[in-house]
Amino acid sequence: MAGAKDMLAGFGSVIASLVFMCAIFQQYFPHHLRTHIDKYSQRIISLVYPYIQITFNETTGERFMRSEAYIAIENYLSTNSSKQAKRLKADMMQNNQNLALSMDEHEEVADEYKRVKIWWAFGKNVSKTPTFSFNPVADEKRYYKLTFHKKNRDLIMGDYLNYVLKEGNAIKIRNRQRKLYINNGAKWSHVVFEHPATFETLAMDPHKKNEILEDLMTFSKGEEFYERIGRAWKRGYLLYGPPGTGKSTMIAAMANLLKYDIYDLELTAVIEDIDCSRDLTGKRKKKQDNSDDSNMTDEEKKTNFIDGLWSACGGERLIVFTTNHVDKLDPALIQRGRMDKHVELSYCGFEAFKILAQNYLKIDSHPLYPKIQKLLSEKNITPADVAENLKPKTASADVSTSLQDLVLALKLVNQEVEQK
């Protein structure tokens, strides 16, 4: 940028001389001659000054409305400029956990697009007209200024600006606070979604976990693919398995991975077997006795309902259904297209146990591991029950006590079954 700036300074003095000459011409030459000369001087200026500058103001028209383009550029530069700019401003983000870095005033950064250099500068003009205002910030007019060589005009004003706006909006979505929407009758209400579950802490077979992760990432990056094949950008997941195997935990991990909001629908009135109306705390909601006297069979009602749900959603959507009884579901209901990916979450195996031990006890191995491995292969225990045993029960509890508790619990599993 230094070279380019020196050049700009040089051109600046050339332009100043031209402007001075123009003023002299205006005084001494007749009008028709002047317009002629004006035309030529404009051409000369554009010849010697090869850069184009575009200013994006924060507010346009309506006084307090922030421009969408400005916000997108701000987001784009907050990610891209923090690597380069030497003076940065730090602000707390909405979730009060992360710092958002952005360019400080009069800071400039260079960007590169398809091997073309572009410069961004951040600045502000303070209103000169003395106005009385409760909000002094409102009198500052902040802007981003984009500078590029005029030979790249088409590329920058087309492709590059589109790219910046799209990328900026995507960053905004990634950084926003996510919400859990709950449907109460006719109304949606929402709470801030803050569930700590991640795929890393989810206890399940690592191969299966990776397969799901890949499937989700492919889906989330699949906008162009879905557009090309002419299908809606949607994917349906069916998670099935006994209570306490991590279905709701996985939904939270999915939402955290993809930065999606969660919509929790109360469908139990229509769909008794499909348990997709669970809240994320794991509490089961009461089923409503809502008898419908239409002629439709239960299965038809369910299928219609799910198809209705699919077509009601526009854009990028992942719909997750969970059930404890996959065997009771009608095949039409779970066919691909309605539920594309079926995932079984099951009792805790040794691999899943190791992840839980890592989460809860921060250990990778222990002399009790072989014994636990053998017991897990013989008995059915849910990850929820394993986790419960690994939690410290007293302040003085240590790793060995927790693992011994688990061994004891595992030994008791069969006894309970026998007693039943």
Closest residue (Cβ) to Mg ion?
Answer: 248
Query: Residue 214 in contact with residue 207, Cβ under 8 Å?
Result: no
Give least dist CB 313 to Mg ion, A. 21
Cα four-point dihedral sign 185, 190, 196, 197: positive
- Of ligand ATP, Mg ion, none, which one does residue 236 interact with (CB within 5 to 8 Å by kind)? none
CA distances from 185 to 62, 70, 179, 266 (A): 37, 39, 18, 9
CA distance 208 to 293: 43
Query: Residue 132 in contact with residue 44, Cβ under 8 Å?
Result: no
* Closer residue to Mg ion, CB minimum distance, 47 or 191: 191
CA distance 145 to 165: 15
Give least dist CB 242 to ligand ATP, A. 7
Give least dist CB 247 to Mg ion, A. 5
- Of Mg ion, ligand ATP, none, which one does residue 168 interact with (CB within 5 to 8 Å by kind)? none
- Using the CB atoms, write b or e for 130-151: b if 16+ within 10 Å: eeeeeeeeeeeebbbebbbeee
- Of ligand ATP, Mg ion, none, which one does residue 103 interact with (CB within 5 to 8 Å by kind)? none
Query: Residue 240 in contact with residue 155, Cβ under 8 Å?
Result: no
* Closer residue to ligand ATP, CB minimum distance, 303 or 322: 322
* Closer residue to ligand ATP, CB minimum distance, 333 or 345: 345
Give least dist CB 73 to ligand ATP, A. 41
CA distances from 161 to 69, 166, 339 (A): 9, 9, 38
* Closer residue to Mg ion, CB minimum distance, 156 or 202: 202
Nearest to 81 by CA among 178, 177, 1, 176: 1
Give least dist CB 353 to ligand ATP, A. 10
Alpha helices in 29-128 (DSSP H): 31-48, 68-80
CA distance 277 to 266: 5
- Of Mg ion, ligand ATP, none, which one does residue 50 interact with (CB within 5 to 8 Å by kind)? none
- Of ligand ATP, Mg ion, none, which one does residue 102 interact with (CB within 5 to 8 Å by kind)? none
* Closer residue to Mg ion, CB minimum distance, 66 or 278: 278
Which residues are at the interface with ligand ATP (CB under 6 A)? Answer: 202-204, 243-249, 278, 282, 324, 345, 383-384, 387
CA distance 218 to 193: 24
* Closer residue to ligand ATP, CB minimum distance, 146 or 180: 180
* Closer residue to Mg ion, CB minimum distance, 73 or 197: 197
Which residues are at the interface with Mg ion (CB under 5 A)? Answer: 247-248, 278
- Using the CB atoms, write b or e for 212-235: b if 16+ within 10 Å: beeebeebbebeeeeeeeeeebbb
Give least dist CB 402 to ligand ATP, A. 15
Give least dist CB 378 to ligand ATP, A. 20
- Of Mg ion, ligand ATP, none, which one does residue 203 interact with (CB within 5 to 8 Å by kind)? ligand ATP
Give least dist CB 276 to ligand ATP, A. 10
- Of ligand ATP, Mg ion, none, which one does residue 346 interact with (CB within 5 to 8 Å by kind)? none
Give least dist CB 207 to ligand ATP, A. 15
CA distance 261 to 239: 18
* Closer residue to ligand ATP, CB minimum distance, 243 or 308: 243
Query: Residue 84 in contact with residue 76, Cβ under 8 Å?
Result: no
Closest residue (Cβ) to ligand ATP?
Answer: 246
Instruction: Output the CA torsion 213→215→221→224 (10° steps).
Output: 180
* Closer residue to ligand ATP, CB minimum distance, 73 or 180: 180
Give least dist CB 385 to ligand ATP, A. 8
Angle in degrees, 0-180, between the axes of helices 383-390 and 399-419, rounded to the nearest 10: 140
Query: Residue 268 in contact with residue 275, Cβ under 8 Å?
Result: yes
* Closer residue to Mg ion, CB minimum distance, 77 or 320: 320
- Of Mg ion, ligand ATP, none, which one does residue 243 interact with (CB within 5 to 8 Å by kind)? ligand ATP
Cβ count near 319 (within 10 Å)? 19
- Of ligand ATP, Mg ion, none, which one does residue 158 interact with (CB within 5 to 8 Å by kind)? none
- Of ligand ATP, Mg ion, none, which one does residue 202 interact with (CB within 5 to 8 Å by kind)? ligand ATP
